[in-house]
Every structure is written in structure tokens, then in C-alpha cells.
Amino acid sequence: MGQVLADDATVIARLFEHIDRRTTDLSEEVWREPVEHYVSPQRFDAELRVMRQTLTPFCPSAALKEPGSYLARDAALTPIVAVRGNDGKVRAFRNACRHRGVQLVEGQGCKKVLTCRYHAWTYGLDGQLRGVPHEYGFPGLDRSRTGLVPVHAVEKHGLVFVNQDLACDAAGQDIELVPDYFDESWRLHSTREQEFDFNWKIFVDGLLEGYHIRSTHADTFYPRQYDNINVCEHFGRNTRVSYPYRSIEKQRGRPADERRAVGALTQLNHLFPNVSVATFPTHMTMAVIEPLSVDRSRLITYFLTNHENEDAFVKARDFVIEGTAEDREMGSATQKGLASRANDVFIFGLFEGGSRHFHRNLASAIGQLEG
């Protein structure tokens, strides 16, 4: 499939036009999202169904470097474990023993087999049931039918995608539009988890616009970036927003084919519905915004780097974490504002086209489920 997203030279040229004209990319129309969609338990349940039936990023491939490597977490409130087999293939399973349902593993690690802590039923890295202590107590047990329950997994673009309920969702072709993010040079440095007291979509909304940079990030991002200047591109149900640094000015005198995005801008890739991949000068992140309830969410951030200067990476990572804390404050304030019942809709302006694209596609996906 041909290139969908613009190359570095094109993006930078468009950003220079915006900087010079004090403009930004504009959407086709204003979008009005019902506030009810942020507070309704029925809508929340429908969003979980969309997540379970969509091929979505589960973790970076770098989290599963060697055979036996596993990563377990909840995805759309479902315990899932991804593991790399001895054949090098990544597989994903529902994280529950077939005996009494105990979760087999937590977090990340590396094992030759997966053994239940409760009664020591043991499974191979391919999910097959390998051992049952005192097996004579289970007459008629068919091991071939009692392996771990698989979920569809695809490894591509340096990411592991998982689809819980269907082998291929209706818009699964979105994965073919995703660029290659991580090659073998990228390593997983650290993982950070935070719980937020607001609806998961509030966090997504904040990722997809630069309208708030000056007011929300006055002492962090704004001194290094521009307020409300970006390039917004859609690829399938996904969106890439390019946020320029002020240091982009150093590239004005370069020939177009020598202009590079690395170090000149952050590119925020929103992968529908609840994952982002973002670029920074010393590292990249894959972040998962997991819904916990209609008014709580968990942010799981994987920090990956191929940078040789550890101190520079840590400084940059902590700077991003500081900015995320400011976004968290705004998210909490938004959630509290919902209780005022002042608004029937949230208004997303012409320069908030990423949010329009997200909400329109989420509504369409829910409509397909209910239709």
C-alpha cells in the first residue's frame, strides 16, 4: 500500500507556512459531542465492546524481546497476556487458568512455561496444557481442548496488536495504514502506570489538539513549542498531529530533502481507539488509555529509546511526565465540571479536527455494533 502520511519535508513546509501566517490546520466543520457520552454507563459499555472487537496495540514488540518474554495487563477490563514463543511468534491469551480461572502471570517477565500459582497446572508458551498434578483426579480431561484461550494477535510496525472478540474487525485494514514505528534498535527502557479520575475520552481529546499549549503548559511545553500550530493528518480511523518545536527554525535554510522531523517536532499518532505513539528528541512513547469505569481510567506508558545518552533521555522523559501531570489536572477539572450540568455538548472547533475524527469514528463503530 502506498504512503498515506506526508514525509518530513512536506510536514515541515506546512508548519513553516502556519508559523509565518499564524494559522493552523483546520477541520471541515465544528463538532458537537454530547456530554452524555462521557457519563452514560450504557455508552461506556458500548465503547468497551468496540475496543474488544478492534485490532488495537497491546504493547511494543520490544517488551517481548526473547522467547518466554511475557506481558500481562487488562485491556478493556479483560485480563490478557502476550508471550513470545520458542518459535519467535507472539501469541496472546486470556490470562486465566482453565482449571479454576486464576490469572497465570502479572506484569512483565520471562518464563519457560506458564504455571498457575494455585494448583500448578502448567501451559507451554504456545498455550497448550502441558502438566496437571495428580491428573488421575480429572478423568476424561482432554488436554487438547483445555489450553489457554487464545485471542487474535498480530505483530507489525514494532507493535503487538490484539483483537479479543473477532479474528478480524470490520476496519482491521487500519493496521495496513500504520507506519513502522520501532525497528530492532529501539529498546523498552521503562513503563509507567497512572490512574486518572476522569473518563478515558477526556484524555484522548487533550492529546489531539494544540489549542491548550499556551494556557495549560505555560512553563513546560509552551516555551519550547507554539500555541495552536500543528499539522493534522488522518490515516484510516487514526490521526497524526505534528506539533513543532521552536527549534524547527534551524531548518529553514536547509534544502527540503535534508529537513528532518526528529528533534524539530513531536508527532502524536492516535491509533484508534485508545492508544497513542509519540515521538520526542531522545525517545518515543506508546501510551494506552485504558477505561476502568465511566469516570476513571488508567494510563500505561511504555518509554522506548535508542539514544545513547542516558542522562539526556531521563531528563527528557521526566519533562514529558511533568507536562502529562498538567494534562491530568485539566482532565480532572473537566470531569468535575461534568457534574455542573452546564453543558449538553462539548464544542470542538475547526482546529480540533483530531477530536472530531476520533468521535465520529467511535460513533460509527458503536453504530455498527448496535445496527
Give the tens place of pLDDT for each residue, 101-149: 999 999 999 999 999 999 999 999 999 999 999 999 999 999 999 999 9
* Residue 45 and residue 69 share a domain: no
Rounded Cα distance between 241 and 355, Å, is 11
Q: What is the CATH number of the domain that holds 154?
A: 2.102.10.10
**61: amino acid identity, one letter:** S
Angle between helices 353-370 and 41-52 (to 10 degrees): 90
Q: Give the H or E element holding residue 200.
A: helix 200-207
Look at the chain and report how many structural domains it folds into.
2
Give the per-residue SS3 of 122-178: EECCCCCEEECCCHHHCCCCCHHHCCCCEEEEEEECCEEEEECCCCCCCCHHHHHHC
The boundaries of the domain holding residue 139 are: 56-168
* Residue 198 and residue 311 share a domain: yes
* Residue 213 and residue 118 share a domain: no
Cell reading at 167: 479474528
Rounded Cα distance between 322 and 313, Å, is 14
Q: What is the pLDDT of residues 269-281, one digit of tens each?
A: 999 999 999 999 9
What does the pLDDT read at residue 1?
41
* Residue 132 and residue 242 share a domain: no
Task: Examine the pLDDT at 52 and tell me if it is beyond 50.
Answer: yes
Q: Is 304 helix (H, G, I), strand (E, B) or coil?
A: strand
Cα 349 to the chain's mean position, in Å? Answer: 24
**Residue that finishes a domain, picked among 168, 202, 235:** 168
What does the pLDDT read at residue 175?
87
* Residue 204 and residue 143 share a domain: no
What does the pLDDT read at residue 2?
44
* Residue 349 and residue 225 share a domain: yes
Are 206 and 327 spatial neighbours (Cβ–Cβ below 8 Å)? yes
Does residue 3 lie in a domain region? no
* Residue 284 and residue 269 share a domain: yes
Q: Would you tell me how many other CB atoms lie within 10 Å of the CB of residue 314?
A: 16
* Residue 49 and residue 91 share a domain: no
What does the pLDDT read at residue 173?
59
The burial of 236, by beta-carbon neighbours within 10 Å (0-12 exposed, 13-18 middle, 19 or more buried), is given as: middle
Q: Is 266 helix (H, G, I), strand (E, B) or coil?
A: strand
Task: Examine the pLDDT at 201 and tell me if it is beyond 70.
Answer: yes
